[in-house]
A and B are shown apart, each in its own frame.
Chain A
Amino acid sequence: MDSSEQAALREAVRDFCRKHAGPGAWDRLTGELGLTGLAVPECYGGAGAGLAEVAVAVEETGRVLLPAPYLSTALAGAVLSEGGAVPGDGGVAEFLPGIASGALRAAFVLGGSVTASGGLLTGVAHHVLDGAEAGLFVVRAGDMLFAVRASDTVVTPAGTLDQTRSQAAVEFRGAPAFAAGCAAERAEDLLRVMLAVESAGAAAHCLDVTVGYLKTRVQFGRPIGAFQALRHRCADLAVEVASARATAYAAVRAAASPAGTASSAELAVLGPLAKRHCVDVFWHAAAEMIQLHGGIGFTWEHEAHRYLKRAKTSQLLHGTPAELRRLVSQRAGLC
């Protein structure tokens, strides 16, 4: 599925996450690997690759729930590069070098009551993922998408159920806004695709860890993975995880297709479809991870709870399962 470059990227990111998924990760992730600039053109200091490469890095950082605003920042780099940003034109392009270098962290504000008037944004949005540490917001106002400096807004960080990803409430009081070339709806669908990919990676990790535990945990004189009641649950998860990954990358292919192609038009359906399917699979894998680990899975010390909390957070934001089902139904012309 991966091209050879993508396979090498995957290996590099996976290796990085194995070794450095702690404090200081951000500097190395951006400095050594340049991951936030994957989809930023080379003239802004990026790698000049695209959404398919961002997806690979999102899957791998999602696998370990890397506590850094990688998804938001890298996707902002891709979104703000769309629509022919030109160096020196004073528009959103001026943020791209910061994103590519990692100096500027970004977050998406796609919900809430934000309106635009005369190049200024007004309104409030809650539940802005990765919002607490963002220096830049990519904001939806109506059908339009804007970039706004965090220093021009009032950011109130929130305590979060999932402590590996921040949230904030963001208030805009006539904040100066730079119009982006990407439509707001496309940006939201792209965010859903990336959440789908991240969830597919995280779900695969939940299954890996659970299977590893079932091979070593002995009860009744044998590894509990020999008991059919547990094996079958793992097999069902394996089917789901395989289907999540296939679906997530089908959506990535649509996301990465050139504008105007039939494949690109599929994003409107595949964005919500992939997010719904992959996050639901992730939720199931995380819940099973706890149950199949037994008591240890319920402890703060074990990693399982972080996956359960991430899954539920991803499920409740940017379209609940029921909302996404309605959206798919509408956009596919079903009901």
Chain B
Amino acid sequence: MNDDQFRLEVRGWLTTQLASAEFACLVGKGGTGRAHEFVAERMAWERRLGADGWIGLGWPEADGGRGLPWHRQVIFYEEYARANAPGRVGHIGEQLVAPTLLMFGTPEQKARFLPGIAAGTELWCQGYSEPGAGSDLAGLRTRASVRDGEWHIDGQKLWTSLAHVADWCFLLARTSPDAERHRGLSCLLVPVRQPGIEIRPITQITGTAEFNEVFFDDARTAAGNVAGEPGDGWRVALGMLGVERGVSNLGQLIGFQREFESVLAAARGNGSIGDPDIAARITDAWMGLQVMRFTTEDTLGAGDPAPVAGGAVAGGVAANITKLLWTTWHQRLGELAVDVAGPDATLAGPDYGLTDTQRLFLFARAETIFGGSNEIQRNIVAERGLGLPRG
């Protein structure tokens, strides 16, 4: 099968599924800023993806994946975005936990956890941030120790997406109480549904809840459920952050294009495009989208982040550069969208019901904060990309 045939296969599958009675309701749902929508249906969608072999495209075949090269995965994400298919609830397992287990996991761990991820039947969340450890992740205080063949965990995690639907949590905890900072941390694999874990949703700027606080009060997991060696958690966690942004970025651009087009249509519809300032901002947004596309293709090209600026910037910071670009662009698009909408954008429906435009405008404020704030991204680009000394 060549690339074009693969693309047609993906497109055909998505078209059929998204026209079915079961999943037609999911078109355009559950994306950025609307992760609360249709959760049960999206969990079923995840199982359908898994059953038909669309999860783990890049994993080795021996580990239950399809061993597809990087550009085939890009095709899948492009078609997924083009079809306006729903926001994933399984992406933490597929795109973060599985690659980490492939890199650091034991054969037993891979055999235990990868099939559930590939089938879309076991969902994951990620426990990194804490109230006292946001950008300074190494300052985290959730503790775990082994007693009677089990890890006992106490502490609190914050901003945990999807914890309320997840079966497992990929948890970074301090396992050597005397070790400083990034030493003495471990990555634990913890079942979420147990008496020692309490989950409380965080109502956010949009009035909806996509993130959670997770409290650990003598929560348990088996002694073997640690990814990498105990005490090696920082290295494992960093490996995971490295894979967090990558192949899905190119698909994301198609979603951005769709959002841009809806802003353009709104500006034409209400005549605001006749305002020279709005017209200029629309053109700038469009040009920014093209620049972002070229830069993403250039820096993430072939999955091999090459030196990106003719000697000025060393390799390995492609994902950080991309994140700075897209979050800033998307935030501006949100601002443009409400300015195009005009006074109507100041109103809210019953129960604080918001329009897509308002949700975009508000939720984009999160994007420059989550996944490593843009200030942290700049530190990484400065240190690893430019070789500037640490502050």
Contacts and interface: CB of A to CB of B under 8 A. Distances in A.
B355 interface: no
Interface string B212-254: 0000000000000000000000000000000000000000000
B379 A231 contact: yes
Contact of B292 (A225, A227, A243): A243
Contacts of A211: 312, 386-388
B379 A228 contact: yes
B286 A250 contact: no
B313 interface: yes
A127 interface: no
Nearest to A205: B312
Contacts of B149: none
Interface in B339-391: 375, 377-379, 381-383, 385-391
Contacts of B379: 228, 231-232, 235
B312 A215 contact: no
Interface residues of A, number: 43
Interface residues of B, number: 43
Interface in A53-103: 59, 63
Contacts of A334: 264, 279, 282-283, 286
B70 interface: no
A335 B321 contact: no
A267 interface: no
Contact of B391 (A59, A200, A231, A250): A231
Nearest to B383: A231
B310 A204 contact: yes
Contact of A207 (B297, B312, B325): B312
Given A232-B378, A235-B378, A273-B290, A245 B391 contact: no
Contacts of A246: 291, 294-295, 297-299, 308
Contacts of B290: 247, 250, 270, 273
Contacts of B311: 204, 208
Given A1-B298, A246-B299, A328 B287 contact: yes
A201 interface: yes
A238 B313 contact: yes
A225 B385 CA distance: 13
A222 B389 contact: yes
B386 A234 contact: yes
Interface in A198-224: 200-201, 204, 207-208, 211, 214-215, 222-223
A236 interface: yes
B309 interface: yes
A223 B264 CA distance: 47
A93 to B, nearest CB: 35
Contacts of A226: 388-391
Contacts of B9: none
Contacts of B280: 325
A325 B283 contact: yes
B321 A238 contact: yes
Interface string B257-298: 000000010000000010000011011101100111011011
Nearest to B324: A239
Interface in A313-335: 325-326, 328-329, 332, 334-335
A140 interface: no
A241 interface: yes
A242 B321 contact: yes
B386 A235 contact: yes
Given A1-B298, A231-B382, A238-B381, A335 B309 contact: no
Give 6 nearest A-B pairs by CB, closest first.
A246-B298, A235-B378, A231-B382, A235-B381, A225-B388, A246-B294
Interface of A: 1, 59, 63, 200-201, 204, 207-208, 211, 214-215, 222-223, 225-228, 231-232, 234-236, 238-239, 241-243, 245-247, 249-250, 270, 273, 276-277, 325-326, 328-329, 332, 334-335
Given A231-B379, A239-B325, A329-B279, 8 more contacts: A208-B312, A231-B382, A235-B385, A245-B308, A245-B310, A249-B294, A328-B287, A334-B279
